[in-house]
Amino acid sequence: MSRIQAVFEQLKLANRRALIPFITAGDPNPQFTVPLMHGMVAAGADLIELGVPFSDPMADGPTIQRASERALKHKVSLTNVLGMVAEFRRQDARTPVVLMGYANPIEAMGHEVFARLAAASGVDGVLTVDYPPEESAGFVSVLRQQNIDSIFLLAPTTTDARVEHVVRLASGFIYYVSLNGVTGAANLDVDDVALKVASIRRHTSLPIGVGFGVRDGATARAVGAIADAVVVGSRMVQEVENSSEAEVVANVGRLVAELRSAIDAQL
């Protein structure tokens, strides 16, 4: 059983929702990434989404764009990110790590090389924003050979027929993007999301995470009531951005703990 599957099964038995915080690897600088990851796990993160910095983050709003820029100032490459995951794994063999990023750094490394190195580093899942199912059958099977899950996005615009197509390639969990927009937008409509999540469930038994637009305890709680996992991105990155280096790990941990208790409170 994959680490991702194991975590979701445990949570299900406990009737709890997964909290998935996102940070960009190398932000604010490379030394902080592994401590931030451990800090988030200690504060209640169930799974970590680690952003791979890219020069042209087309699906991201200004907050995560700036995080990418900060990381790229330190020349953080995909190889470096895999190194960070490997370092994290030395102390944490349980918490799944999903890489989230864009196609070109993976293209540049090559699918096979990437899959092999990612598996060796302890990566559990890969979400590539600009690899839609139409272009990723080959990549998915290369990842599968290394027991790495392919996480796919579904969106409000996704038709039922496409959902059917996507869930056939997906494993680990499904990431439902709560709104039409870039990361960091703030107009998530919980009722719409509930309808869409229910309709996705008719096509798959995979756990469903919801992200984009989760800004605080209240939205986290509302999303936790309808989905299996709550993904928090820009709000985490904003905390990194607004914290001094001395305080960043503590501040990010505090935010995760806050979100954790908000999500758990309803149950």
Partner 1 sequence: MQKYDFPDVGGHFGQYGGIYMAETLIPAVEELRRQYLIFRDDPEFKAEFAYELKHYVGRPSPIYHARRLSEYVGGAQIYLKREDLNHTGAHKINNAIGQALLARRMGKKRVIAETGAGMHGVATATVAARFGMECIVYMGAEDIQRQAPNVFRMKLLGATVVPVESGSRTLKDACNEAIRDWVTNVDSTFYIFGTAAGPHPYPMMVRDFQCVIGNEARVQMPEMIGRQPDAVIACVGGGSNAIGIFHPFIEHESVRLIGVEAGGHGIGSGQHAAPLTANAKVGVLHGNKVYLMQDENGQIVETHSISAGLDYPGVGPEHCLLKDIGRAEYVAINDDEALLAFDALCRFEGIIPALESSHALAHAMKIAPGMDNNKVLLVNLSGRGDKDMNTVARLKGITL
Burial class (CB in 10 A: 0-12, 13-18, 19+), 137: exposed
Using CA atoms, how far apart are residues 115 and 146, in angstroms rounded to an integer? 6
Contact call for residue 61 and partner 1 (CB under 8 A): yes
Q: Specify whether the CB–CB gap between 40 and 207 falls below 8 A.
A: no
Contact call for residue 154 and partner 1 (CB under 8 A): yes
CB nearer to partner 1: give 95 or 150.
Answer: 150
Contact call for residue 200 and partner 1 (CB under 8 A): no
State the catalytic residues: 49, 60
Stretch that binds partner 1, among 32-40, 103-111, 189-197, 239-247 (CB under 8 A): 103-111
Q: Which residues contact 207 (CB under 8 A, 6 or more apart)?
A: 8, 18, 173, 174, 228, 229
Stretch that binds partner 1, among 18-26, 30-38, 118-126, 128-136 (CB under 8 A): 128-136
Q: How far is the CB of 190 from partner 1 (least distance, A)?
A: 19
CB nearer to partner 1: give 153 or 230.
Answer: 153
Applying CB under 8 A, which of residues 6, 10, 42, 58 lies at the interface with partner 1? 58
Contact call for residue 213 and partner 1 (CB under 8 A): no
Sheet harboring 174-177: ordered strands across? 149-150, 125-128, 97-101, 48-51, 18-24, 229-232, 208-211, 174-177, 152-154
127 vs 8, 49, 72, 208, 219, CA distance in Å? 17, 9, 20, 14, 23
CB nearer to partner 1: give 45 or 212.
Answer: 212
Contact call for residue 33 and partner 1 (CB under 8 A): no
CB nearer to partner 1: give 134 or 191.
Answer: 134
Q: Specify whether the CB–CB gap between 224 and 265 falls below 8 A.
A: no
Task: Tokens 């290394």: give the residue.
Answer: 146
Contact call for residue 160 and partner 1 (CB under 8 A): no
CB atoms < 10 A from the CB of 1, how many? 7
In the chain, what is the straight-line distance between the N-terminal and C-terminal CA atoms, in Å? 27
Amino acid identity of 131? Y
Contact call for residue 156 and partner 1 (CB under 8 A): yes
CB nearer to partner 1: give 108 or 250.
Answer: 108
Stretch that binds partner 1, among 70-78, 89-97, 201-209, 227-235 (CB under 8 A): 70-78
Contact call for residue 35 and partner 1 (CB under 8 A): no
Applying CB under 8 A, which of residues 12, 31, 73, 79 lies at the interface with partner 1? 79
**In b/e form, how buried is each residue of 20-37, taking b as 16+ CB within 10 angstroms?**
bbbbbbbbbebebbbebb
User: Residues in the site for partner 1, rule: CB under 8 A?
Assistant: 54-59, 61, 65, 72, 75, 77-79, 102-109, 129-132, 134-135, 152-159, 162, 166, 177, 180-182, 185
